[in-house]
Structure 1
Amino acid sequence: MKKSNKLLKIPSRGRILISLVSLVLGFILAYSYSIAVENESERNTTSESFLEQTRYREELIEQKERNKELTEEINEKQQAIRDLEQSFAGSEKSVEALVEEAEKLRLLMGGIPSQGKGIVVSLEDGAYNPSQENPNDYIVHESHVFKVVNELKISGAEAISINGQRLRANSFIRCTGPVITIDGKTFPAPFTIEAVGDPAVLLASVQLGGGVLDQLTSDNIVVTVEEKGKITMPALRDEIS
């Protein structure tokens, strides 16, 4: 019996049906793939949006915390200002004391003129005794001047001058032989030291037993002290002008 070599022929109607099915399946596959890609994109977008929202939320929380800290700091500063205002308002004496202290500092620095009662202390070289070996023992030195000036300052003198040269808080005094240099200006003996302040207090201070006056006398310095009803000292800037 002979085998047939003829191929099975599919009717044309069947081929059309198969083509239609294939086309539909391809369309379905393409559409499904498109939907899947779109969903994946939406998921990625949603994830990024969520992360961004989370970051914004954290930044907002940080800003709120910082605003809270700044508000508390402002409240503390305002309270401190109110405390100061109440302190000044409730204590006029404190304000007056501060003003008075500032005035004293200006006088000490020589920034404003000074005028009032005071005392005058004069220092002169002692008479030379040939029997003594060292004539310098009879000369007024800067140490003697410093003793008087420091005692006057301690006693409350508001302004001091030497031979008309007003002293400032950081004045430099140096002795060179028979003369002294004060802030670059040279003055010969005798040295007249004027001090504005309460005369009774200043006199008692320099004349105290065993004090400045006795020490200078023991160093062979001729010292004279007198009270003065009015002493006037210009401001240092006026002298410069």
Structure 2
Amino acid sequence: MKRKVKTKAKVNDDYQKRGRHILFSVVFLVLGFILAFSYRTLGSNQEADALESSVILKEEAYREELISQQERNKELTDEIAAKQEEIREFERSFSTREEDHAILVDKARDLRLLLGVIPAVGQGVIVTLKDADYDPIEQNPNDYIVHESHVLRVVNELRISGAQGIAINGQRITANSYIKCTGPVITIDGRTFPAPFVIEAVGDMDVLTSSLYLKGGVIDGLIRDNIVVTTEQSKEIRLSALRDES
């Protein structure tokens, strides 16, 4: 039997083929590894991108919601400010109406006092006018008795000084009252009163008294006319209303 003997050239050819197989195997192995790594890396990147996109979308949603809430808060703040201004305006209007009402009430009361339809009560002054002593043989008696002009001086001064009510010998004086002298007596609204004449006035007693005693004023003039004048301050004077007088 003959043995087959491989030639040197054939052996080299076998080695070359086997080397190429090994080389191809190594190349394919490396390529597979690269492809697998690339796939894993690509997948990881895609997941990271997807996660980042989700976070960005949520942030955008939160930002839009925050902006919307801020705008709503501003609207509510403006609405509250407008309501508060309406309340302040109502309070000012109400206060003005209250003040106007109080002023009207005071004016109505002053008018009633002036007309004498309601009693006048409070502090004030009492002025008494008396005839002076005289000798009827040597002196003119008209120069020593109280005339309506003397009474009117006192009444007008008291009115100007803010007297809320005035009465003469208990007779309430109104804006329409008339005073007339008839000899030693005077007539007030049809009623006759003899001297002395007691004039009562309700008001600030210090102001009323000061106005009467002004230099060159009412009291000085009465004294020059020989009228006996006395004044008295009172913490409580009550003047009856006209309808209450008998």
Q: Normalised by the shorter chain, which TM-score bucket? A: 0.5 to 0.7
Instruction: Show the counterpart of 2:119.
Output: 113
What TM-score do you get using the length of structure 1 for normalisation? Answer: 0.61
1:224 counterpart letter in structure 2: T
Structure 2: 5+ residue stretches without partners:
1-89
Instruction: Show the counterpart of 1:166.
Output: 172
Q: Does 1:231 align with 2:241?
A: no
Describe the SS at the equivalent of 2:237.
strand
Shift of 1:230: 1.0
- Residue 101 of structure 1 is aligned with which of 84, 104, 107? 107
Instruction: Show the counterpart of 1:176.
Output: 182
Shift of 1:101: 1.1
Describe the SS at the equivalent of 1:151.
helix
Q: Distance in 2 between matches of 1:169 and 1:87?
A: 37
Q: Distance in 1 between matches of 2:213 and 2:245?
A: 32
Look at both structures and tell me which one has the larger radius of gyration over its CA atoms.
2
Aligned residues: CA RMSD:
2.0
Contact kept? 1:88, 1:94, Cα under 8 Å: no
Instruction: Show the counterpart of 1:137.
Output: 143
Query: What fraction of aligned residue pairs are identical, expressed as a percent?
Result: 60
Shift of 1:162: 0.4
Structure 1: 5+ residue stretches without partners:
1-84
Describe the SS at the equivalent of 1:148.
helix
May I ask how many residue pairs the two structures share in their alignment? Answer: 156
Shift of 1:120: 0.2
Describe the SS at the equivalent of 2:122.
strand
What TM-score do you get using the length of structure 2 for normalisation? Answer: 0.60
Instruction: Show the counterpart of 1:89.
Output: 94
Q: Quick one: structure 1 residues 222 and 93, their matched pair in 2 at CA, closer, same or farther if it must change by over 3 Å?
A: same
1:89 counterpart letter in structure 2: F
Contact kept? 1:120, 1:192, Cα under 8 Å: yes
1:107 counterpart letter in structure 2: L
Contact kept? 1:88, 1:95, Cα under 8 Å: no
2:120 counterpart letter in structure 1: S
2:234 counterpart letter in structure 1: K
Q: Does 1:122 align with 2:128?
A: yes
Shift of 1:237: 1.0
Name whichever of 215-224 and 225-234 sits farther off: 225-234
1:121 counterpart letter in structure 2: V
Shift of 1:98: 1.6
In the TM superposition, 1:1-241 aligns within 5 A as 89-91=94-96, 92-129=98-135, 133-239=139-245
Describe the SS at the equivalent of 2:125.
strand
